[in-house]
């Protein structure tokens, strides 16, 4: 596997660990991935619950992000990113804090981060990377950023419909090949090529990528790197509880389901008792303690997503559920991040050698 660049920052391993909230990817997982040469990512979602006690939810979220970045830096000299959902009501606070604390990268999705460059400071070195689900979204972001701020994305993550968590697709598009990652990646590569005289924008493939063979395939397609989340949940260093990880280990392929999220997007999750209760209308919230999502109206919401994800990450699966990518059922055991990365490298090399051998035979024939 070759290194790649996000802006002027070289990344030795072309793997970004996807940001997973609430409390699934914090400093523990992020630093472990960074130590292997990839980009470790801290999720901002729910930091105000995880680090409560520092004032209100907003203040606790800011303190929590600072603390997680500090803890990560104690464990690694590698690259640490921050994932911020655009749908968060405290998006602006999280973006400002990440830049002030000199996070290496901000990944922003679950909405179009059209004003993200506005939070940059004169001395800011934090790279800005939007997460999109279409070439159209990448075109809009590039145009808005360049016209309004004279800035272009340092890279773009393209997340397909096989991803875990919130999906940037309508339900009927999720299983439609016209919206597959394989279809979208070349379209986004073509879009960013329009700006190559100004800036080289790396394209990162995400969603349903679960092996070194997958990494090889998307890099051959023109992607510079991949983003992987699900594969890192069943690791020793993942910040979620053991009970949460066991849900992945026992999941079968038909346990993966598409749900309607209070965020206003469909999402992919693992079936369980809590989601059954949601479908029966038994988890409707009576109040909204933090107003964490801009688009969520608790009077119309089927449940409180922040509490549900927080409870699940702590291990109370009766009061929450696990988001997961389409290949979550492939998890067999708890491994270290180092073991996962070694396996990915071995798989990548094997597929690469097979491909070159086949090409050699074809040439001889």
- Tell me yes or no: is domain 4-240 CATH 3.40.50.300: no
Q: How much is the pLDDT for 345?
A: 97
The whole-angstrom separation of Cα 335 and Cα 347 is 16
* b/e 47-81 (16+ beta carbons within 10 angstroms → b): bbbbbbebeebbbbbbbbbbbbbeebbebbebbbb
Spans of all domains in the chain: 4-240, 243-328
- What CA–CA distances, in Å, run from 42 to 60, 81, 270, 330? 16, 6, 22, 24
Cβ distance 293 to 263 under 8 Å? Answer: yes
Share of the chain above pLDDT 90, in %: 83
Q: How much is the pLDDT for 306?
A: 87
Say if pTM beats, i.e. exceeds, 0.75.
Answer: yes
For residues 39-65, give the mean pLDDT: 92
The whole-angstrom separation of Cα 234 and Cα 216 is 22
Q: How much is the pLDDT for 263?
A: 77
Residues 228, 118, 86, CA angle at the centre, nearest 5°?
Answer: 40
> pLDDT per residue over 104-137, tens digit each?
999 999 899 999 999 999 999 999 999 999 999 9
> pLDDT per residue over 279-326, tens digit each?
988 888 777 667 777 776 667 788 888 899 999 999 999 999 999 999
- Residue showing tokens 């949601």: 278
Helix, strand, or coil (residue 43)? strand
Query: 101 burial class (0-12, 13-18, 19+ CB within 10 angstroms)?
Result: middle
> Any idea of the CA torsion for 350, 352, 356, 361, to the nearest 10 degrees?
40
Cβ distance 184 to 197 under 8 Å? Answer: no
Mean pLDDT taken over the chain: 93
Please enumerate in sequence order all residues whose Cβ is within 8 A of that of 331, keeping only pairs 6 or more positions apart, or say none: 230, 231, 233, 234, 248, 249, 251
- What CA–CA distances, in Å, run from 264 to 88, 177, 295, 362? 12, 23, 7, 50
Cβ distance 84 to 46 under 8 Å? Answer: no
* b/e 319-328 (16+ beta carbons within 10 angstroms → b): bbbbbbbbbb
Instruction: Work out whether the CA dihedral 330, 331, 333, 338 comes out positive or negative.
Output: positive
Nearest to 13 by CA among 296, 225, 285: 225
Q: How much is the pLDDT for 121?
A: 94
> pLDDT per residue over 186-211, tens digit each?
999 999 999 999 999 999 999 999 99
For residue 363, pLDDT over 60 is answered with no
Pairing of strands 225-228, 79-85: unpaired
Q: How much is the pLDDT for 296?
A: 66
> pLDDT per residue over 204-262, tens digit each?
999 999 999 999 999 999 999 999 999 999 999 999 999 999 999 999 999 999 998 88
Q: How much is the pLDDT for 361?
A: 60
For residue 81, pLDDT over 80 is answered with yes
Q: How confident is the model at residue 362 (pLDDT cuts 50, 70, 90)?
A: low
């Amino acid at each position: 596997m070759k290194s790649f660049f996000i802006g002027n920052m070289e990344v030795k391993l072309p793997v970004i660990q996807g940001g997973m909230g609430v409390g699934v990817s914090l400093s523990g997982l992020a630093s472990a991935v960074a130590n292997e040469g990839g980009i470790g990512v801290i999720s901002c979602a729910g930091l105000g619950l995880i680090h409560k006690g520092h004032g209100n939810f907003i203040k606790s979220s800011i303190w929590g992000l600072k603390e997680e970045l500090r803890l990560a830096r104690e464990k690694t000299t590698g690259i640490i990113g921050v994932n911020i959902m655009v749908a968060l009501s405290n998006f602006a606070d999280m973006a400002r804090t990440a830049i002030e604390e000199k996070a290496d990268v901000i990944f922003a999705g679950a909405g179009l981060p059209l004003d993200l460059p506005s939070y940059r400071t004169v001395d800011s070195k934090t790279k800005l990377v939007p997460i999109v689900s279409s070439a159209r979204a990448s075109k809009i972001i590039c145009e808005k950023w360049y016209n309004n701020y004279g800035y272009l994305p340092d890279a773009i993550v393209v997340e397909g419909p096989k991803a875990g968590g919130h999906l940037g697709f309508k339900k009927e598009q999720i299983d439609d090949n016209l919206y597959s990652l394989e279809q979208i990646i070349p379209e986004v590569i073509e879009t960013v090529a329009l700006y190559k005289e100004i800036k080289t924008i790396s394209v990162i493939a995400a969603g349903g990528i679960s092996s070194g063979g997958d990494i090889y395939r998307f890099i051959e397609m023109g992607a510079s790197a991949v983003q992987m989340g699900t594969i890192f949940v069943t690791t020793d260093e993942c910040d979620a509880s053991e009970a949460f990880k066991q849900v992945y280990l026992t999941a079968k392929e038909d346990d993966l389901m598409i749900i309607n999220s209070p965020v206003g997007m469909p999402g992919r999750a693992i079936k369980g008792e809590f989601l059954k209760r949601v479908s029966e209308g038994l988890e409707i919230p009576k109040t909204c303690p933090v107003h964490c999502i801009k688009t969520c109206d608790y009077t119309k919401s089927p449940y409180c997503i922040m509490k549900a994800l927080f409870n699940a990450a702590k291990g109370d699966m009766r009061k929450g559920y696990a988001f997961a990518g389409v290949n979550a059922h492939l998890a067999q055991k708890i491994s270290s991040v180092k073991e996962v990365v070694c396996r990915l490298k071995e798989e990548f090399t094997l597929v690469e050698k097979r491909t070159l051998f086949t090409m050699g035979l074809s040439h001889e024939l």
